[in-house]
Structure 1
Amino acid sequence: MNLKQLEAFVCVAEGKSFSAAAKKLYLTQPTVSSHISSLEKELGVRLFVRTTKDVELSSEGELLYDNARRMLQLEKNILRDFTQKDLKAANKIIVGASTVPGQYILPQILSLFSRTYPGNQLELREADSMEVVRLVQDGQVEIGFTGTTGSDPTCVFEPFYHDRLVIITPNNDKYRQFEKTGFSIEQLYEERWIVREEGSGTRKEAERYLQDMGVELNRLEIVATISNQETIKKSVEAAMGISIISGAAVEDYVEQGSLLRFSLGDQEVYRKLYMVWSKNHKPGKAARLFIRFVRELYAYL
């Protein structure tokens, strides 16, 4: 067994095609087939089930897949840490971030870091919180920034920022009357709601706090599910409904008078934002420097 065979196996598994794997690896299709055949012969199992449409992993292939991906990622980690031929690549930091940290927290951090350590190149990939965790697990990003944690014991979740959750409404007479009294639970049932997508840290934490307040989530009237924060704010401004959103994301609209902002409960409600990295895919030197920088920047918040 060798890494070339495992690389061919993973490419076929992910592309569900021998020809696509050959194209991606710049090999001939017979070469890819030979790698898979040798691997199957050595392990004594069939790794793929061929159908009329595509190629699927067998049960034994599924068992091999995760281990093969980890071995290939370990090879990449070794090359990254010890190969200095491409200095720019060696100092490149790949960061994944969910919407709130990616759009409203990280821009200032990235700017300060790039001015403090100008020799590093930053790449930012945005997704929802659960997808960012998956990218970290798979080794596609070195550090993730999310609005929630996961259950994977191979991932480290470190709080770095406290984000206030607020209710936002249109700025009109109906909602200005609640500025002194706030929203009762019964009033929440009378409202139309715009919510974030499944996998969003904001949605997960908002639902948890509402349940803690005694709100029955199935009684809320949800009129839209929207992933983009700016679209949510504009939809609320247009009186489509009300929403729960990050306080960091709504400052501009509140200052302009376009929206009203309310506490989620009797007291201010904060949720933690997290840095996350994988124990299986150790962050490189530049990424570890970035983690220390963020820690020091928010040490007293």
Structure 2
Amino acid sequence: MEMKQLEAFVAVVRHNSFSKAADMIYLSQPTISAHISSLENEIGAQLLIRSTRTVYPTQIGKELFHRAKSILALRDEAIGSIKRVDREMGGEISILASTVPAQFLLPEIIAAFQQQYPHIVFDVHQADSLQVAESLLGYRYDFGIVGTSVSSRHLLTVPFYRDRLVLITPKSMIVNQEELYRDLSSFLRQQPFVMRGDGSGTRTEMEQLLHKQGISVRNLNVVSYFHDTQGILSAVSHGMGISFVSKVAAAAYEKTGQIKVYDLGKQAFTRQLHLVFKKAVVLSPVQKVFVSYLENYFTSATFNRYNRRVETK
């Protein structure tokens, strides 16, 4: 069994494609196919199921995929211990993230990260928080990012960002802020409400915030349900009703004057966003660099200056 065979196999499983794998590791498609065939012959089992549209691993293939990633990570770690880690290091990181981090945090983080490590490529997918935790136990993604607690003895979590919900209203809505802060529950009951769909971390947090105000979803005048934050922001900006969203998600819409934002302070619900990955996985040097970068990013002077600018708008 050779490293090139494992590299080819891991690349095919990651991308569910021989052609995409060939592009990522700079080999021809026939070479990729030859590596996979020789690996299957050596192991004596079929590793991949090839259909007309996609390629995916068999059960034995999934088991080998986890081990192959660890073997390649250990190899890279050994090389990295000798060579200095610098901006020339390359590789790929796959992330499955819930809506807020996928749409509003990761683009900023990845752009800043690639200023230092331009040869590291990211493959970002989006799902709700429950799906992220479940999918991460499968074979495809390196990391997950969620805004709810994850209870699994197979997963590790690294907190990296504290977020909170804010109340958003259409820009045309006239709000008596003194009355709003004095009797929030009464205000919420009187307005048409745009609700987040089931399964999201934001929906869970929203219900907890409402519970603190003595309100259940049944007490609200819910006029629509949206299954992503972007949909809620757009609906509110068009005058459909009011809602709660992540503060970081509301910032861009507030800056362009499409909505009004009310920070509820002590009444608000805060949450910790977590990077999640499997305990059994050996992280490659590229993955370790990203974890370390993410842990420190939101305490950097650059972000603190950015955050203060957003908060003073």
Whole-Å separation in 1 of the counterparts to 2:293 and 2:56 = 37
Give the conservation status (yes or no) of the 8 Å contact 1:73–1:281: no
Q: Which residue of 1 aligns with 2:102?
A: 102
Paired AA for residue 223 in structure 1: V
**What is the TM-score normalised by the length of structure 1?**
0.70
Q: How does 1:226-245 map to 2 (within 5 A)?
A: 226-245=226-245
Give secondary structure in 2 for the equivalent of 1:176.
coil
Cα shift readout 1:65-91 (whole Å, capped 9, x = no counterpart): 7xx67623323324532677xxx9971
Q: Which runs of 5+ in 1 are unaligned?
A: 12-18, 27-31, 33-64
Query: Which of structures 1 and 2 has the bigger CA Rg?
Result: 1
Is residue 95–residue 144 contact of structure 1 (8 Å, CA) maintained in 2? Answer: yes
TM-score, with length taken from structure 2 = 0.68
Report the Cα distance in structure 1 between the residues aligned to 2:172 and 2:141, rounded to whole angstroms. Answer: 43
Q: Corresponding residue for 1:181? A: 180
Name the SS for the 2:95 alignment partner. Answer: strand
Q: CA RMSD in A?
A: 3.3
Cα 1:277/1:162, change in 2 over 3 Å: same
> How many Å apart are 1:220 and its aligned residue?
2.1
Equivalent residue number for residue 113 of structure 1: 113
Report the alpha carbon displacement of residue 197 of structure 1 after superposing the two structures with TM: 2.3
Secondary structure of 1:94's aligned partner: strand
Equivalence for 1:75: 67
Q: Which residue of 2 aligns with 1:152?
A: 152
Render the CA deviation track for 1:112-164: whole Å, top value 9, x for unaligned: 21111223222211222222222321131111111112222211122111112
Secondary structure of 1:131's partner?
helix
Match of 2:270 in 1: 270
Answer whether contact 2:166 2:246 (CA < 8 A) is retained: yes
Does structure 2 conserve the Cα–Cα contact (< 8 Å) formed by 1:197 and 1:203? yes
The runs of 5 or more residues in structure 2 that have no matched partner are 1-41, 77-87, 305-313
Alpha-carbon distance change, 267 to 83 in structure 1, aligned in 2, over 3 angstroms: same
Q: Distance in 2 between matches of 1:293 and 1:151?
A: 25
Q: Distance in 1 between matches of 2:106 and 2:219?
A: 36
Amino acid at match of 2:105: I
The residue type equivalent to 2:240 in the other structure is: M
Within 5 A, what are the aligned runs for 1:1-301?
5=45, 7=47, 24=55, 71-81=63-73, 91-173=91-173, 175-178=174-177, 181-182=180-181, 183-264=183-264, 266-299=266-299
The code of the aligned residue for 1:73 comes to F
What is the CA-CA distance between 1:102 and the residue it aligns to? 1.4
- Quote the offset at 1:214 in angstroms: 2.2
Aligned mates of 2:178, 2:256 — CA distance in 1: 17
Counterpart of 1:291, as a letter, is V
**Residues 104 and 179 of structure 1, relative CA distance in 2, 3 Å threshold:** farther
* Equivalent residue letter for 2:175: R
- Please identify, of 244-253 and 280-289, the stretch whose mean Cα deviation from structure 2 is larger: 280-289
Matched to 1:170, the amino acid is: P
How many residue pairs get aligned? The number is 248
Q: How much identity, in percent, do the aligned residues show?
A: 26
